[in-house]
Structure 1
Amino acid sequence: MEILKKISILFSIFIIFSSCTKDDVEENVEIASKTYQLQSANGYSVSGTARFINNSNGTISVELNLTGTPSNAMLPAYIHSNTAAETGPISISLVTASGETGESFTTFNTKDDGTQISYQQLLNMDGYLTVRVDSNNSQIVAYVDIGQNELTQNTTSYTLQEVDLDGVLGNITFTERINGEALAVFNLSNLPSGGSHPAYIYSGDLANAPGSLIYAFNNVDGTTGKSFSNIAEDENGNPLLYQDLLTIDAYVDVVLSETTTNYHLAQGNIGSN
């Protein structure tokens, strides 16, 4: 009889424990997600996706699926502050991606400095994500602007013509971010290889040049013909957004160097001109 009583008590405890486990322990499930497309950089062929996941327990997961990764490589990944064009400090360190699988999965609810971050805050972040070639090399192999810096489908291009150096040609493209700012990208060919060439927006029409300085871009790389700049305000600190660039009375000027600004490599009217 005593043995039966003990068995009955143990069975009751098991039932209560099982019931508590089933009802009280909340399963962590995916509530929502957003996927960003990474683009390759610095001549590498690495691309893929970064999926941000909102978990029911209040954490965030970032899932990387990369293609074109060297099979024997380990590729660190980070979320930074600012835009990729401006560059900025690391805010969140992600789990290193395997070159063999191209995969990485990180779950967190704080930044590297211990500050709490929610899924919605991450989607509103002034940030960008990078994948690096290895732990000993800071060179970026793939990246994407995230949060408020995400690029929209709104884009406009202007042709730039040769001036003092024969054969220089290309364009500048402005793309709107969801926060209204603009990414400016130069694509020029036949520049002096190895050079670094300043570029500016000046007021007025080219026919009446020179105008007043409105904005200074990041220098154009003479070897690649590329330059990436984020435009949010002019040189006086006044707002200068994507929609402003569509109607601005101005022109773009690419020059040989900081000390040879009277040697013009490429120019073109923009906005209302």
Structure 2
Amino acid sequence: MKNLRFISYLLALTAFVLVSCDDDDNDGPGVLPTGQSKTFALSSVADPAISGTATFNALDNGSTSIELMLNGTPDGGSHPAHIHFNTAAEGGDIAVSLTSVDGSTGMSTTIVSATDAGDPLTYYDLLDFDGYINVHFSADDLATLVAQGDIGQNELTGMSKDFALASVADPNISGTAMFYERVNGETLVTLALENTPAEGMHPAHIHFNTAAEGGGIAVTLGIVDGNTGMSKTNVSMLDDGSMMLKYDDLLDFDGYINVHLSADDLATLVAQGDIGQNELTGMSMSYDLNEVDVAGVSGTVDFRERVNGETLVEINLTGTTFAGDHPTHIHLGSVAEAPGAIAVTLTSVNAMGVSKSNVTILDDGSAMLSYSDLVAFDGYINVHNSAADLGTLVAQGDIGANGN
């Protein structure tokens, strides 16, 4: 079928050239292809079996022959097609109406020289056009898309980067955030989560700082559809308009992503992950935190390296069934030499036995602390019973140069 459709495409193009030549015989010079062309991908939408390409062929009068070729279209169907303004992730009005795709051949050919509004549109204008193509199921069902693809300056370069989105409130929900570079330097951000509840609508944002620190909203992303677990957003600037954000900027961004349960319950997170320079490298060290004054409480502390060299310090204790937060610090020296002065104040361990801190510097500001510094640090960790009872230790353990 694919070969037959390709042969049909060649025959159609040949017929176009012959007609042009015939016009040449009767009315002067004909319109011919220049040999310049550009092909854009049209991806599946409603039906995973249908996909194809849009090829823009430059003609010598400045107009463009746009050839749509789809595989898997049902025989007898007629699929309206349009070039729209903006990216597919943003959506936009119709810029140019294209000839409907014939379901039997999967093909459509349109000669384009202007927008539907009459604005001139050359081949080179189309190569830099801020737009996308939609191919619809039928004239009676325009809401159902059979294929879609960004074109012009919105085309994807092939460069991409994925970041993990870990479970938070529900251990069954997790996924990824994919950043795709566009030709114009902007970014398609796609969130893909597994096991989101049907009919749910989950607001999502890029925030400043690390997830351990928390921070304000930097960029509002498209809401994750619980039915598909998907969200797509075109990112070009901060929400407040204070700074443009190119793909390379996002790869170095000091931020993280939150996906919330609902607009009415933003406090409950279904997924979260650090991005950009805060991404974890995979390098880590783990140390034991031992029982001290409270029977049955012990656990571990993990140091995880970030791309920027900073450290996520994550404490997990078991047996902390009592309420309240437990102040936690890295001290100078070893447990055997205790007490030692506080070097770094960590986030208090909560009643669930968890603490997450981003460590970059000593409390007094006298020295920066990279991951390499921490895994060689002459120190230990104390977890205290409460701010009012620092004398009672919940757990304690040597780290860095003193660790196990």
Q: Give secondary structure in 1 for the equivalent of 2:248.
A: helix
| RMSD (CA atoms) | 1.4
State how far apart, in whole Å, the 2-side matches of 1:66 and 1:135 are: 17
Is 1:150 paired with 2:155? yes
Superposed displacement of residue 108, structure 1 = 2.3
Tell me whether 24-33 or 82-91 shows the greater mean CA deviation. Answer: 24-33
Q: Which residue of 2 aligns with 1:13?
A: none
Q: Give secondary structure in 2 for the equivalent of 1:45.
A: coil
State how far apart, in whole Å, the 1-side matches of 2:211 and 2:42 are: 37
State how far apart, in whole Å, the 1-side matches of 2:128 and 2:28 are: 31
Q: Which residue of 1 aligns with 2:220?
A: 216
Superposed displacement of residue 187, structure 1 = 1.1
Is 1:174 paired with 2:146? no
Is 1:164 paired with 2:178? no
Is 1:100 paired with 2:94? no
Q: Give secondary structure in 1 for the equivalent of 2:40.
A: strand
State how far apart, in whole Å, the 1-side matches of 2:166 and 2:78 are: 43
Is 1:129 paired with 2:133? yes
State how far apart, in whole Å, the 2-side matches of 1:93 and 1:23 are: 30
Superposed displacement of residue 141, structure 1 = 1.1
Superposed displacement of residue 22, structure 1 = 6.1
Superposed displacement of residue 24, structure 1 = 8.3
Superposed displacement of residue 23, structure 1 = 11
Q: 1:241 is matched with which residue: 240, 243, 246?
A: 246
- Please tell me the residue identity of whatever aligns with 2:152: G
Q: Aligned residues: percent identity?
A: 40
Tell me whether 61-70 or 76-85 shows the greater mean CA deviation. Answer: 61-70
Q: Give secondary structure in 2 for the equivalent of 1:255.
A: strand
Q: Which residue of 2 aligns with 1:57?
A: 61
Q: Give secondary structure in 2 for the equivalent of 1:122.
A: helix
State how far apart, in whole Å, the 2-side matches of 1:77 and 1:158 are: 34
Q: Which residue of 1 aligns with 2:387?
A: none
What is the TM-score normalised by the length of structure 1? 0.90
Task: Provide closer, same or farther for how the CA distance between residues 43 and 169 of structure 1 changes in structure 2, counting only shifts above 3 A.
Answer: farther
State how far apart, in whole Å, the 1-side matches of 2:227 and 2:137 are: 21
Superposed displacement of residue 44, structure 1 = 4.3
Q: Which residue of 2 aligns with 1:267?
A: 272
Superposed displacement of residue 99, structure 1 = 0.4
State how far apart, in whole Å, the 2-side matches of 1:248 and 1:60 are: 40
State how far apart, in whole Å, the 1-side matches of 2:47 and 2:171 are: 27
Greater RCO between the two (CA within 8 Å, min separation 6)? Answer: 1
Q: 1:29 is matched with which residue: 29, 32, 52?
A: 32
Superposed displacement of residue 57, structure 1 = 2.0
Q: Which residue of 2 aligns with 1:15?
A: none
Structure 1 unaligned blocks of 5 or more:
1-20
Q: 2:73 is matched with which residue: 69, 78, 82?
A: 69
State how far apart, in whole Å, the 2-side matches of 1:248 and 1:57 are: 46
Superposed displacement of residue 37, structure 1 = 1.4
Superposed displacement of residue 208, structure 1 = 1.0
Superposed displacement of residue 175, structure 1 = 0.5
State how far apart, in whole Å, the 2-side matches of 1:22 and 1:78 are: 33
Tell me whether 36-45 or 257-266 shows the greater mean CA deviation. Answer: 36-45
Superposed displacement of residue 207, structure 1 = 1.1
- Please tell me the residue identity of whatever aligns with 2:275: I
**CA offsets, 1:74-115, max 9 Å, x none?**
000000000000000000000111100101111121111111
State how far apart, in whole Å, the 2-side matches of 1:245 and 1:36 are: 25
State how far apart, in whole Å, the 2-side matches of 1:249 and 1:43 are: 38
The higher radius of gyration belongs to 2
Superposed displacement of residue 239, structure 1 = 0.6
Q: Which residue of 2 aligns with 1:191?
A: 196
Is 1:231 paired with 2:243? no
What is the TM-score normalised by the length of structure 2? 0.61
